[in-house]
Structure 1
């Protein structure tokens, strides 16, 4: 048996999952390799199963009838992402994808690049990335393109932050890292009230503009027009929920992903030099590959969690097969899955030729990221603007709070 399994087996029950979490974050490749080889389904106290193989992770994330998003429900209520195979999920997600026009991607990338460049130009050689850049750029996109016009950016960031924190970092199995879970819940509820009140005012303004035929071309207006048409079942309550989801899903996830990718590249001088050279190329395809691969090594979400509904065998066909039972929380460690040699050629090699669609960076299966298309241009473009700066360097480590970057001091030659 390997060294990590010996440590886990010897640990007291209450310490096993916290230990696994630490190993997952600090040891990465060697820990994952041992788990995949010796215990790909690690059964832990509190009815948790930690899985690490590509085949098992993809099966769990694909089979939503057997593995559901039950733990999202207390955090997200009736929002479609807290549902699996329901009419609301299929209809709402289809509507939201359709109003995020795919053909606008080149224009959106230009918008993001210009805004990031402006912020960096004004920073004059030093910036705290999460506080001044990586939240502010997606916030500007939400304001100008999604319809949150005239809003206070700090409030938008706060509303996104607490909703993301509660949904993804304040689950029952997070008690080892969240000292006051009730505080997080209270902040999320408060943020939800303020967000709803703000969106209510925006929706009234958009309704008046529609009546006066002064149409805007932002996401909230598109949703209002659709609701008013009665062409599909999409009442005003749905407009409010789904417009709020655009905000919540954009700011914080973009920030953590950009910071993780940049941090990984700055730790790899050889790849950093190549990425900088590629950043100056008008064709961004090559450059984007460096960001994608950096996120394979340092993902924003190293795992996704599901609740088992149907007795299901995992690690089937191996000597380590285990049948998980209904009610089990299955933690699908997609970070490990992206280093599984059965699915990835030269899995431990940093290869910028890989694409976003070969990774779990934006989720997988039924609950893949709604904003996948926008994320694939916004995240690398913000990183690209940073790498265009002369002699960009980190002045300290990324400081995380509640699982997301709060501080990352950067400097360059202004």
Structure 2
């Protein structure tokens, strides 16, 4: 059944074309990862990154697919675009114009996309300047300068190169979304993370050959990894469905309504945004300690380094906070209740309007707490394994959340194309449980 489903991928000309376009554009992205930015000593930079594990540099390097440690033209990765999108999303709460764009359908989305592009370029210029200035003062552990010839010539070249690289990645992502299959930006992050997994596997093999990891521990870790992936798939697709009834209405000679539907509330509405924010904040003292010799900063960095009890407590606290915060930004119970009331819908036993809004908010708060605890458990797992057993990062955490979530979304879209073309999906015709995306 599964083999036939994969054969069906290439029976639909449109789906085959979309898959080939997606793979081709991702290949272009991976080629660009290896094109260096002028003016940097690559060997010295690699030595610096080898000593900068557990800082913001290692996290940004993961999201850039290894481009930052090579300081390629794609060194900034897609993070400026993600940051601009998040900032714009948060600003809709305080800026009425942006809140209105959210209600204007396709025209509003196009305008927001345009603002996001402008924000991406602006953030890229700022980050490019900051990185170029920071690199000029950095040296490798051996004392070799990372930038042999510092100055404004190097800074301008770096700003232009990195900004152009991020803009090109943004364009690639939009082309994948429009012409390919899946969400382009998510797939670019997915490709960057997956491309680094062979090195993680090589590190595991090295630990086994040197005797630092036994075969029994490896088996336990593989079983644990499979269990974590299964838990992520289950939780990312989990929903709390609130039943909604629609009253019958007579318009002219036609009768509308009289139907029963449901309001799906996701367990993890915030996605991977909370752990990204939490990691950025908690790694900030460690990153500052790399550039300062202040005893206070060194003490704080040691206190909040991975493996300490304070790190775990603060990390989990930030994740829970951002889960609630970002969910509140993304989902407004008052708007949902108002739209439901306008369309003649109601929740059985709950009055339309304010009572409905309060009920939805209460249910959303409860399931968000469960989702926040689930995200915290998945993200704390890799740091615990790294500190106790010195195992690779990819057995959990933000990277695994992104990889599994993007895979679910992409398979969901492929499934929809197969079913619309009257072909069996990945679960077959008889499978009533279709693979659902996260959106």
Q: What TM-score, normalized to structure 1?
A: 0.27
Of structures 1 and 2, the one scoring higher in RCO (CA 8 A, sep 6+) is 1
Return the structure number with greater helix share: 2
Larger Rg: 2
